[in-house]
Amino acid sequence: MKRSTLMLRGLVVAAAVSMVAFLGACSSPDEDSSSSSTAFTPVTIDHEFGSTTIDTQPQRVVTLLTDWSDTLAALDIPITAQFVEKGHETFPWTPEHQTELVPVNDISQVGVAEIAKFDPDVILAGYLGDEARYKKLSEIAPTVPVITKGSMVDSWELVTTTAGKIFGKQEQAQQLIDSTNGEIAAFKSKYPSAVGKTFTFAQVGPTGQVGVVNSTDDASAGLLAQLGFTLDPQIAALHTGTATRALISPERINLLNSDLLVVYVPGGDQNVVNQVPGWSDLKAVRNGTVIYITNDNHAAFSVPSAPSVSYVIETVSPAAAKL
């Protein structure tokens, strides 16, 4: 699923791969998740490639993306195997849980046989790139790719409600959503002057290439909008069709002149931004309201989950206090 190498997949696959995209011993199920006492009602999930029906209560769950892993952990749903990016296997916002971590270099290139050896009865995949890969995984077990058509990552609310539906934990899922929304409301109440301020979510590559998220339909920008910020109109104007990410040519770097900048720097070398002409003149740079994120934490922003929202709030708060 190569599409060139900066932000298109980098912000999407999150903890799964470090540089991609813009260019171009598991625990036994607990009683709540077991089908031993309650008959399981088949569940059908509509998604970007059609629909997936899960006929039996899942007992062996494999996850390929952090939002699913975070959410299942928060709902106390056992995960048999969790494929993770090598070197970035765990994150501070993910609830503690038992699982077999499977470090790989590139989640998008995990072989079907590697997944099949865990004998899954459901695969919670998220972004797969194309339908052919989805069909191959579906031959192993019911597979859930991106749910929202035209998106590369689903919202944290949708992942939470879907997990609740699949595993019969609708009430717990709603409680998780309500508590998370409470945190969001508290943030906006604490920083009222930040509400309505413009933001841009960008990535700067190793050679100074810049990509941006240009629609709040993209869950990464959507979360920042939920926190009360407004996607910069100049960036929003770049949105055409279904693509929610775009490249910015060097001569148009002034488009990033937002009140708040969230900048993903793969590899963590913030010095790469100095290769971008005019970077030091940007409003957020001058005002100290730039938030730099790296491979260690960008999944919290780019593939948001209910558990990652509190981490995002904590990370954004110092900048919000200056707005």
Where along the chain do its domains lie?
Answer: 26-178, 192-320
Span 144-172, pLDDT tens digits: 999 998 888 999 999 999 999 999 999 99
Rounded distance, CA 26 to CA 99, Å?
A: 4
Residue 27 pLDDT more than 90? no
Rounded distance, CA 247 to CA 254, Å?
A: 13
Rounded distance, CA 258 to CA 255, Å?
A: 8
Q: Work out the average pLDDT over 214-233.
A: 97
Residue 8 pLDDT more than 80? no
CA within 13 Å, CB half, 215: 15
Residue 260 pLDDT more than 90? yes
Which pLDDT score, from 0 to 100, does residue 29 have? 39
Question: In whole angstroms, what separates CA 135 from the centre of its chain?
Answer: 23
The average confidence (pLDDT) of the chain is: 89
Residue 213 pLDDT more than 70? yes
The yes/no answer on whether domain 192-320 falls in CATH 3.40.640.10 is no
Q: Work out the average pLDDT over 130-154.
A: 94
Which pLDDT score, from 0 to 100, does residue 28 have? 36
Which pLDDT score, from 0 to 100, does residue 38 have? 66
Provide CATH code, domain 26-178.
Answer: 3.40.50.1980
Coil vs helix vs strand at 229: coil
Burial class (CB in 10 A: 0-12, 13-18, 19+), 283: middle
Residue 273 pLDDT more than 80? yes
Coil vs helix vs strand at 196: coil
- pLDDT bracket for residue 274 (50, 70, 90): confident
65 token code pair: 């993306």
Span 92-104, pLDDT tens digits: 999 999 999 999 9
- pLDDT bracket for residue 39 (50, 70, 90): confident
Q: What single-letter DSSP state applies at residue 88?
A: B
Rounded distance, CA 10 to CA 29, Å?
A: 33
Span 178-193, pLDDT tens digits: 999 999 999 999 999 9
Which pLDDT score, from 0 to 100, does residue 14 have? 40
Of 203, 213, 186, give the one whose Cα is nearest residue 265: 203
Whether the domain at 26-178 and the domain at 192-320 fall into the same CATH topology: yes
Rounded distance, CA 159 to CA 16, Å?
A: 17
